[in-house]
Amino acid sequence: MIIKKFIAITGIIHCEAGLRIGGTKEGIVEPGGSENTIIRHPITLLPYILGSSIKGKMRSLLESDASSGAQILDDGKPCKCGRCLVCKVFGSHGMSNKEITRILVRDCSITPESESVLRTAQEERGINFAEIKSENIINRKTGTAADKGLRTQERVPAGTEFNMNITIKLFKDDDEDNILKIVNKGIDLLQKDYLGSSGSRGYGKIKINNLEIREIN
Amino acid sequence: MKTFRLKIRPHSSFLTPWQADTIFGSLCWILAWREGTDALTKFLQEYKNGNPAFVLSDGFPCDLFPTPLHISLRKSKGDNIEEYKRTKELKKVSWLSPEVFESVRRGAIEIGATDAYKAIKTYTTLHSSINRITGTTGDEGSLFELEEFAIESRELKADTLSIYIKIKDGWEERVESLFKDLSLIGYGKKRSVGKGSFEIVGALEPYNKFDNFGEANGFVTISNFVPAKDDPTDGFYKTMVKYGKLGGEYTFNGNPFKKPIIMLTVGSIFYVKGDNKPFYGRMVEGVSPAKPEVVHYGYAFSVPIKIDI
Ligand SMILES: [Zn+2]
């Protein structure tokens, strides 16, 4: 296989709702803080969006889309056919019919503007680059908040922006149009769905602004 | 061969340590993807012949260097508790500033515990995959842990890695373009989700601080390596077992693993009679039962040193 070219897709991810991407096992728990922390860069402690969260979500949305030709397996695991466009672009799981992954989704760093807004909020209100959201678990029988039902979760506040950075590598015999089409579709579906957790409760709605697709040479 | 330094800035944590043999393997795949497998075969033949186009060091945080082993292996004087503590402290340490590395290279064997840095942070992250039917994560068995590495940029006040490269005349541009492509593809495990993502800072810069000097009587390796038949054997070394993997399309041939390879680690030192060579070691053949043409990079990036013990 011979590489034909690289294509860069960049954009700004704008969080229209609070975004929650779970933190590390060793996540820093501040005294009195939330036990469910978001992921933070280990050194700068700034929140970011994992490349794997975006890639995984895009892939699962595309697989559920009837036109992709991907197979939804009974165990709910990713398609491993190795022939459909999803496998071709996103790489295939399982042992046979493997494809080289064409897409590279980098971790999305917070934009300098959002970092400065959240830094100010930290100084003024003491929030640690995230809001803490409390939720009650309602007891289905009594309709009241269950005992110990209160839980707290960290979210990146709505309005926060991150830099999205995707690279596609295309080999000589690749169908460039279709590959770009499916990646675009994935980006589109992502904006109709949600990122991170608790999407059914309104978390993780995003919009991608300044979307730009260009060849790298 | 001339020595150059290439600085890179990681954009994320990485899962695969920046070791010369792994970097070399990644560059080989790029060469094959750019120029075809015949070009790669030709390229590797020269390595097998002992005539490499370039020799790589590991990637080192910022300007730091690995501690030569005779420093970290020095025995304590037994009854002296302070000395014992210091030695113990030094054993944990792996990075020296350029100044201290240079003085060790010139024969110094006494270094203070504060001369050494902790430069790489290791931590564990938890990941999960999305169930295609329920659309949620967190199924039993879908969670997995990854060990990740990041540069201790706060303590070092820097966030780059330096890779040293000895390059045969005329190969400079090709080396640069291979690394440029690597920066587009990403390095190591999980690169499709941005791990090992990096940018190149500046360009290849000539580097002359590893020059030979009259009193040098040995070398310290700044890459893991596999000794060649005629390489020196008298020195201080540690071994590691490298569990290599095939890359690119070869990942999918049914058995992506190489046979385990014993390598001498970064920081190993050897006495040399006569002149220091720019590199030691060799390519290891016959490492993949499935793909007999596969070789493993085992050259040592040697730096002249005066071993004064
Ligand atoms: Zn498939």
pLDDT at position B124 = 79
Region B238-260: what's the mean pLDDT? 80
Provide the pLDDT for residue B252. 66
Q: Give the pLDDT band (50/70/90) at residue A89.
A: very high
The model scores a pTM over 0.95: no
Residue A97 CA to ligand 1 center (angstroms) comes to: 9
Return the pLDDT at A181. Answer: 94
pLDDT recorded at residue A68: 79
Among the ranges given (A90-104, A145-159, B126-140, B152-166), the one the predictor scored with the smallest mean pLDDT: B126-140
Rounded CA-CA distance B142/A77 in Å is 9
DSSP state of A31: T
Under an 8 A CB cutoff, do B132 and A72 touch? yes
Alpha helices, DSSP H only, in B125-276?
153-156, 172-185
| Residues of chain A contacting B151 with CB distance shorter than 8 Å | 43
Q: Determine the distance in angstroms separating the CA of A177 from the nearest CA of chain B, rounded to an integer.
A: 20
For A15-38, what is each residue's pLDDT tens digit? Answer: 998 888 876 444 444 434 455 777
| Kind plus residue range of the DSSP H or E element containing A121 | helix A112-125
Instruction: Identify the helix (H) or strand (E) that includes residue A155.
Output: strand A151-155
- Best mean pLDDT range from A176-180, B138-142, B210-214: A176-180
Contact A104 B197 (CB under 8 A): yes
Cα dihedral sign, A24-A25-A27-A30: positive
B105 — phi, psi (to 5°)?
Answer: -60, -30
pLDDT at residue number A97: 55
Three-state secondary structure string covering B272-288: CCCCCCCEEECCEECCC
| Predicted local distance difference test score (pLDDT) of residue B274 | 87
* B130-159 mean pLDDT: 73
Q: How close A182 comes to chain B (CA, Å)?
A: 16
Helix, strand, coil percentages for chain B (3-state, nearest 5): 25, 30, 45
Pick from B13, B184, B192: which is nearest to A216 by CB? B184
* pLDDT value for B259: 86
pLDDT for A39 equals 80
Indicate the average pLDDT of chain B. Answer: 87
Residue with tokens 């080192």: B60
- Apex B204 CA angle, B201 and B205, nearest 5: 105
Would you call B191 and A104 a contact, using CB atoms and an 8 Å cutoff? yes
Distance from CA of A7 to the nearest CA of B (A): 9
pLDDT score at A149: 61
* pLDDT, tens only, B31-49: 999 999 999 999 999 999 9
- Give the residue from A71, A93, A100, A162 with the most B CB atoms within 10 Å of its CB, the best one to mutate: A100
Alpha-helix residue ranges (DSSP H) falling in B141-269: 153-156, 172-185
- For residue range A47-63, list pLDDT tens digits in order: 999 898 899 999 999 99
DSSP per position, B208-222: -TT---TT--EEEES
pLDDT at residue B149 greater than cutoff 90:
no
User: How many Cα atoms occupy the beta-carbon half-sphere of A117 within 13 Å?
Assistant: 13
- Tell me what percent of the residues of chain B surpass a pLDDT of 90: 56
d(C-alpha B66, C-alpha B60), whole Å: 8
What are the phi and psi torsion angles at A51 (to 5°)? -55, -35
Amino acid type, B66: P
Q: How far apart are the first and last CA of chain B?
A: 30
Does residue A96 carry a pLDDT above 60?
no
Closest by alpha carbon to A103, among A73, A58, A162?
A58
CA of A83 to the centre of ligand 1 (A): 5
Whether residues B132 and A77 touch (CB distance < 8 A) is answered with: yes
Per-residue pLDDT tens digits for A148-162: 566 677 888 999 999
Name every residue whose Cβ is closer than 8 Å to that of residue A197 and which is 6 or more positions away in sequence. A20, A21, A22, A203, A204, B137
Which of A52, A54, A61 is most worth mutating to test chain B (most B CB atoms within 10 A of its CB)? Answer: A52
Find the angle CA(A166)-CA(B131)-CA(A42) to the nearest 5 degrees.
50
Mean pLDDT of B269-277: 93
- Judged by average pLDDT, the poorest of A26-35, A197-206, B219-228 is A26-35
At B229, the pLDDT band (50, 70, 90 cuts) reads: very high
In angstroms and rounded to an integer, the radius of gyration of the C-alpha atoms of chain A is: 19
DSSP strands (E only) in A28-147: 48-49, 103-105, 108-109, 131-135
Mean pLDDT on B110-116: 73
Specify the higher pLDDT residue, B106 or A30: B106
Q: How far apart are CA B225 and CA B105, in angstroms?
A: 20
pLDDT at A25: 42
Q: Is the pLDDT of residue A146 over 80?
A: no
Q: How confident is the model at residue B193 (pLDDT cuts 50, 70, 90)?
A: confident
Which amino acid type is present at position A10?
T
Q: Which chain B residues are within 8 Å of A52, Cβ to Cβ? A: 127, 190, 193-194
Q: Residue A35 has what pLDDT?
A: 57
- pLDDT at residue number B299: 98
| Sign of the CA dihedral running A62, A65, A69, A74 | positive
User: Which of A199-208, B97-106, B151-160 has the highest average model confidence (pLDDT)?
Assistant: B97-106
| Band of pLDDT at residue B81, cut at 50, 70 and 90 | low
Residue of A nearest to B120 (CA): A43
Considering only residues B62 and A43, tell me which one the structure prediction assigns the higher pLDDT: B62
Between positions 206 and 265 of B, the ones with CB within 8 A of A are 248-249, 251-252, 254
pLDDT reported for residue A113: 96
pLDDT of residue B74: 60
Cβ pair B214, B275 in contact under 8 A: no
Whole-number pLDDT of residue A33: 45
The HSE-up count of residue B131 (CA atoms within 13 Å, CB side) is 14
Angle value at C-alpha B127, between A68 and A164, nearest 5 degrees? 60
Structure tokens at B158: 């820097």
Q: What percent of chain A has pLDDT over 70?
A: 83
B181: nearest CA partner in chain A: A6
Q: In chain A, pLDDT over 90 holds for what percent of residues? A: 44
- Among A122-136, B93-107, B192-206, name the one with the lowest average pLDDT: A122-136
What's A29's DSSP letter?
-
Residue in chain A nearest B249 by alpha carbon: A100
CA distances from B78 to A131, B70, B88 (A): 55, 17, 12
Q: How far apart (Å, rounded) are the C-alpha atoms in residues A1 and B40?
A: 12
Integer Cα distance of B159 and B59 in angstroms: 12
CA pair distance A179, A185, nearest whole angstrom: 10
Instruction: Residue B26: count other Cβ atoms within 10 Å of its Cβ.
Output: 23
